[in-house]
Structure 1
Amino acid sequence: MKALFTVLFLFIIQIFSAQEEDYEYANGVFHFEENKTQKIFTDWTRIRQSPNTNAQILDSLQTNQPIVILKKEETILKLGERRANWYKISYQKGDKTSEGYVWGGNLCVGYRNKNGYDFLFGLTKTVNKKDKQSPEITIQQNIAAIKVLEGNALIDEVSFETGSGESLSFGTFNIESNHKLQNVELTLKATVSGEACGIPSYDQYVLFKDKKLIVLPQLMNVGDADVYYHSEEFVFPNDKGGIPNAFIFKMEEMEKDDRDREKKKRASKTYLWDGNSYKLK
């Protein structure tokens, strides 16, 4: 009888666990509007007959393939720290228009076009990493990438970290000027952030020069109401306080003590830019 109760108890736990998985929210960066154009990020993304990893594979699409979002399905698939809905899509190959289902994690978080180049931003995988402050603890870390293509040809690709799934509530991807850095054609800025206090946001600047992507040190910002904040930013040559052929990293922290008094800490360092690469001064 005791064994029977144990089996029933485990069965009930499994049912509730399954329900929690069914109702798990997708990351906000993978929310795409219906009847809007999107692009494939993961090369050779599989298109399936239904929203399931066991469904028949109908086709495979290459990076930068335009698609149209027809409908967001309720089914959510979690791979590592990435959680995304399945989407019913349509796409065109030659004169033929086809439909199928794609996992949202394989689509671009953002994409831009300039000077004949397509720039794509997306999430690629989740890796296990030792915590810097507590090496005995293993944490899951999302890895993102930016790709640059000319037509269908991949010109360059760079990868960088984007924190845990909690930091994937929002995502933006923009093209900025060259910030008056010598020989730089343009600057890309990819950002992911969370929606709750204490969840970090990450800013990744990438320079584009001579068909190459150059990743700058990553910036992290986090705060908890008016009790604590940590902010990081770059001051480029075209910014107020900027200097030629360099960019300045600035950090500021504030924390309130038990008497509600603010304690601030500031730090800065300068990176020199020689027209091809940067180094710490």
Structure 2
Amino acid sequence: MKRILLASLLLAVMTPVIAQTADRLEYPLWTLEKGTLLSVYADKAYIRSTPSVNGTIVDSLLAGSPLVADEVITTAPLTMKGLTTAWLKTHYSAGGKEIKGYIWVGLLALNTVIKDDVTFVYGLEKRTVLSATEEMLTVRIKALDQAHRILDMKEWTVNGGENARSTQSKLLGEMGLENVKEIFRINFSGDACGLPTDYYYFGWNGSKLLPLPGKSNTFDAGAFAYTETLIFPKEVGGQPGKIMKLMVTEQYGEDGETIESKKVEKETYTWDGTKATKQ
């Protein structure tokens, strides 16, 4: 019953993310309001007596372990893996007692979803600065069993900075794909017109995370709109063994409302139960 309640809470979480810039701490990447239920992303995270790497280790938590946000400590940020984040005062229950301490925010998941005794967490592995205006974030998703052991994981990069100011995740069901029990969708978005929202999809077959085609949407008010739509076999217009992508580009006139031109393109991917191949 406790696990069902935890899953319901986590499924409801939509985690806002604000990406790091040179003059700002990374810690707004996570939802850290008091009382927020969070979980560990790192394979192993230490809980310390003070908000410092010199603080005494009072406990350690494995990936997927839940904890509660109490207070963000901004006075002693720590930089690791290219990420500069705050410490978080936290508490949680373990062994029938309440544990209190501090954890570095960079060790926490951006979001967590539990489905059929499998916990899916994703977070940031590192931040890489390429130039004064360009950076990349390395993201990793992990599938964990009830003992917090990693069943599988996948890693990819997304554009950082202004292109990654928020993130959300969602389970979509199997959508008619052979050998898939669930589809896990993650998106990263910018916070201004003209910046894309990029979506990343992974199928889960019970033991492996299977990369699927992604999509991207961009809207610049009164100027243009670019929309990609994935159609899975179970959806209207879907076909067995195929994933279709519709790409629509619209250009608006001077009034910002009239569509002056519209272009529609289509890509088709065949699905063999383990991978998608573009035709």
Number of the residue aligned with 1:150: 145
Any stretches of 5+ residues in structure 1 without a counterpart? 1-19, 131-136
- Tell me how far apart the structure 2 counterparts of residues 79 and 194 of structure 1 sit (CA, whole Å): 24
Number of the residue aligned with 1:49: 49
Offset at residue 200 of structure 1 (A): 2.1
Is the alpha carbon distance of 1:127 and 1:278 closer, same or farther for their aligned partners in structure 2, counting shifts above 3 Å?
Answer: same
Offset at residue 257 of structure 1 (A): 6.7
Instruction: Give the alignment's TM-score, normalised by structure 2.
Output: 0.79
1:141 and 2:146 correspond: no
Secondary structure at the aligned position of 1:237 is classed as: coil
Query: Residue type matched to 2:71 in 1?
Result: K
Is the alpha carbon distance of 1:81 and 1:204 closer, same or farther for their aligned partners in structure 2, counting shifts above 3 Å?
Answer: farther
Secondary structure at the aligned position of 1:31 is classed as: coil
Instruction: Give the alignment's TM-score, normalised by structure 1.
Output: 0.78
Is the alpha carbon distance of 1:80 and 1:276 closer, same or farther for their aligned partners in structure 2, counting shifts above 3 Å?
Answer: closer
Number of the residue aligned with 2:197: 201
- 1:98-113 equivalences in 2 (<5 Å): 98-113=99-114
Any stretches of 5+ residues in structure 2 without a counterpart? 1-21
Q: Deviations over 1:46-104 (max 9, x none)?
A: 33333345555544422112212121223455657755432101234434533222222
- Tell me how far apart the structure 1 counterparts of residues 260 and 96 of structure 2 sit (CA, whole Å): 65
Paired residue for 2:181, among 147, 165, 185?
A: 185
Q: Deviations over 1:130-157 (max 9, x none)?
A: 9xxxxxx993211112111111211000
Is the alpha carbon distance of 1:105 and 1:266 closer, same or farther for their aligned partners in structure 2, counting shifts above 3 Å?
Answer: farther
- Tell me how far apart the structure 1 counterparts of residues 122 and 195 of structure 2 sit (CA, whole Å): 21
Higher relative contact order by CA 8 Å / sep ≥ 6: 1 or 2?
2
- 1:90-239 equivalences in 2 (<5 Å): 90-127=91-128, 139-151=134-146, 152-239=148-235
Offset at residue 121 of structure 1 (A): 1.9
Query: Residue type matched to 2:222 in 1?
Result: D
Offset at residue 205 of structure 1 (A): 1.0
Paired residue for 1:265, among 249, 263, 266?
A: 263
Secondary structure at the aligned position of 2:134 is classed as: strand
Offset at residue 178 of structure 1 (A): 0.4
Is the alpha carbon distance of 1:171 and 1:259 closer, same or farther for their aligned partners in structure 2, counting shifts above 3 Å?
Answer: closer
Q: Deviations over 1:161-182 (max 9, x none)?
A: 2321323332212111100111
Number of the residue aligned with 1:7: none
Number of the residue aligned with 1:4: none
Secondary structure at the aligned position of 1:216 is classed as: strand
Query: Residue type matched to 1:146 in 2?
Result: I
Is the alpha carbon distance of 1:228 and 1:205 closer, same or farther for their aligned partners in structure 2, counting shifts above 3 Å?
Answer: same
Contact 2:222 2:255 in 1 (8 A): no
- Tell me how far apart the structure 2 counterparts of residues 216 and 28 of structure 1 sit (CA, whole Å): 29
RMSD, matched Cα: 2.8
Offset at residue 216 of structure 1 (A): 1.4
Q: Deviations over 1:12-70 (max 9, x none)?
A: xxxxxxxx94xx36465412231232110012223333334555554442211221212
Secondary structure at the aligned position of 1:105 is classed as: helix
Is the alpha carbon distance of 1:259 and 1:118 closer, same or farther for their aligned partners in structure 2, counting shifts above 3 Å?
Answer: closer
- Tell me how far apart the structure 2 counterparts of residues 187 and 105 of structure 1 sit (CA, whole Å): 26
